[in-house]
Amino acid sequence: MENKNFELDERKEKILDAIIRNYLETGEPVGSRTISKYTDLNLSSATIRNEMADLEELGYIIQPHTSAGRIPSDKGYRFYVDHLMQEKDREVTEMKEFVIEKTEKMEQVLKQVAKLLANNTNYATLVSAPAYNTNKIKFIQLSHVDDEHILAVIVMNNNMVKNQMIDVESSLDNETLLKLNLLLNSALNGLSIQEINLGTIAKLKEQAGSHSTIVGEVLDALANALNENEDLQIYTSGATNILKYPELSGSESATNLLSAFEEKEELLSLVTESLADQESETGIQVYIGNEAPIQTMKDCSVVTATYDLGEGVKGTIGIVGPKRMDYENVMDNLKNLKSQLDGIFTKPRKDEKS
Amino acid sequence: MENKNFELDERKEKILDAIIRNYLETGEPVGSRTISKYTDLNLSSATIRNEMADLEELGYIIQPHTSAGRIPSDKGYRFYVDHLMQEKDREVTEMKEFVIEKTEKMEQVLKQVAKLLANNTNYATLVSAPAYNTNKIKFIQLSHVDDEHILAVIVMNNNMVKNQMIDVESSLDNETLLKLNLLLNSALNGLSIQEINLGTIAKLKEQAGSHSTIVGEVLDALANALNENEDLQIYTSGATNILKYPELSGSESATNLLSAFEEKEELLSLVTESLADQESETGIQVYIGNEAPIQTMKDCSVVTATYDLGEGVKGTIGIVGPKRMDYENVMDNLKNLKSQLDGIFTKPRKDEKS
DNA sequence: GTTAGCACTCAATTAATTGGAGTGCTAATA
DNA sequence: TATTAGCACTCCAATTAATTGAGTGCTAAC
**Is residue B5 situated within a structural domain?**
no
The number of domains in chain B is 3
What's the sign of the alpha-carbon dihedral A55, A59, A63, A65? Answer: positive
Does A34 contact strand D, using a CB cutoff of 7 Å? yes
Q: Which nucleotide is nearest to B49 (CA to C1')?
A: C23
Does B9 contact strand C, using a CB cutoff of 7 Å? no
Q: Are B284 and B82 in contact (CB under 8 A)?
A: no
Q: Which residues of B touch A164 (CB under 8 A)?
A: 104
Q: How confident is the model at residue B145 (pLDDT cuts 50, 70, 90)?
A: confident
Distance from CA of B29 to the nearest CA of A (A): 27
**pLDDT reading at A325 higher than 80:** yes
Q: Are the Cβ atoms of A153 and B145 closer than 8 angstroms?
A: no
Q: Which nucleotide is nearest to B52 (CA to C1')?
A: C23
Interface A-B, measured as beta-carbon pairs within 8 A, has a size of 71
Task: Give the CA-to-C1' distance from B43 to C19 in angstroms.
Answer: 28
Q: What is the pLDDT of residues A152-174, one digit of tens each?
A: 888 877 677 777 788 787 778 88
**pLDDT reading at A348 higher than 50:** no
If you average pLDDT over residues B210-225, what whole number do you get? 77
Question: Which of chain B's residues 33-72 bind strand D, using a 7 Å CB cutoff?
Answer: 42-44, 46-47, 50, 65-68
**What's the CATH number where A329 sits?**
3.30.450.40
Q: Which of A68-82, A250-264, B47-61 has the lowest mean pLDDT?
A: A250-264
If you average pLDDT over residues A291-302, what whole number do you get? 95
Going by C-alpha positions, the residue among B236, B237, B259 that lies closest to residue B129 is B236
Distance from CA of B90 to the nearest CA of A (A): 31
Q: How confident is the model at residue A230 (pLDDT cuts 50, 70, 90)?
A: low
Report chain A's mean pLDDT, rounded to a whole number: 84
Going by C-alpha positions, the residue among A43, A76, A144 that lies closest to residue A35 is A43
Q: Which residues of B touch A153 (CB under 8 A)?
A: 143, 151, 153, 163
**Is residue B181 situated within a structural domain?**
yes
Selected for mutation to probe chain B from A232, A243, A248 (highest B CB count within 10 Å) is A243
Distance from CA of B268 to the nearest CA of A (A): 18
**Is residue B347 situated within a structural domain?**
no
User: What is the pLDDT, as a whole number, of residue A122?
Assistant: 97
**pLDDT reading at A6 higher than 80:** no
User: What is the pLDDT, as a whole number, of residue B252?
Assistant: 81
Q: Which nucleotide is nearest to B50 (CA to C1')?
A: C24
Percentage of residues in chain B having pLDDT higher than 70: 85
Question: Do A100 and A243 reside in the same domain of the chain?
Answer: yes
Residues 6+ away with beta carbon under 8 Å from B57? none
**Is residue A161 situated within a structural domain?**
yes
Q: What is the pLDDT of residues B82-123, one digit of tens each?
A: 999 987 665 554 444 444 444 456 778 899 899 999 999 999
**Domain range for A264:** 92-129+233-341
Q: Are the Cβ atoms of B240 and A259 closer than 8 angstroms?
A: yes
Question: Do A255 and A329 reside in the same domain of the chain?
Answer: yes
**pLDDT reading at A283 higher than 90:** no
Candidate from A141, A146, A261 with C-beta closest to B143: A141
Which stretch, A108-122, A301-315, B225-239, has highest mean pLDDT? A108-122
Q: Report which of residues A221 and A80 the model is more confident about.
A: A80
Q: How many helices (H) and strands (E) does chain A have?
A: 12, 10
Distance from CA of B186 to the nearest CA of A (A): 15
Question: Do A170 and A160 reside in the same domain of the chain?
Answer: yes
Angle formed at CA B87 by CA B74 and CA B117, multiple of 5 degrees: 80
Please give the distance of CA B5 from its chain centroid, rounded to a whole number. 32
pTM, two decimals, is 0.84
Q: Which of A204-218, B173-187, B277-291 has the lowest mean pLDDT?
A: A204-218
**Is residue A350 situated within a structural domain?**
no
Three-state secondary structure call for residue A311: coil
Question: Do A248 and A308 reside in the same domain of the chain?
Answer: yes
Taking the CA of residue A68 as centre, how many other CA atoms within 13 Å lie in the half-sphere pointing to its CB? Answer: 11
User: What is the pLDDT, as a whole number, of residue B228?
Assistant: 57
Q: Report which of residues B116 and B343 the model is more confident about.
A: B116
Q: Report which of residues B152 and B71 the model is more confident about.
A: B71
Please give the distance of CA A155 from its chain centroid, rounded to a whole number. 26
Q: How confident is the model at residue A21 (pLDDT cuts 50, 70, 90)?
A: very high
Residues 6+ away with beta carbon under 8 Å from B148? B167, B168, B171
**Is residue B168 situated within a structural domain?**
yes
Going by C-alpha positions, the residue among B308, B157, B124 that lies closest to residue B226 is B157
Q: Are A194 and A134 in contact (CB under 8 A)?
A: yes
Residues 6+ away with beta carbon under 8 Å from B146? A138
**Is residue A245 situated within a structural domain?**
yes
Percentage of residues in chain A having pLDDT higher than 70: 85
Question: Do A337 and A247 reside in the same domain of the chain?
Answer: yes
Domain stop point among B187, B214, B231: B231
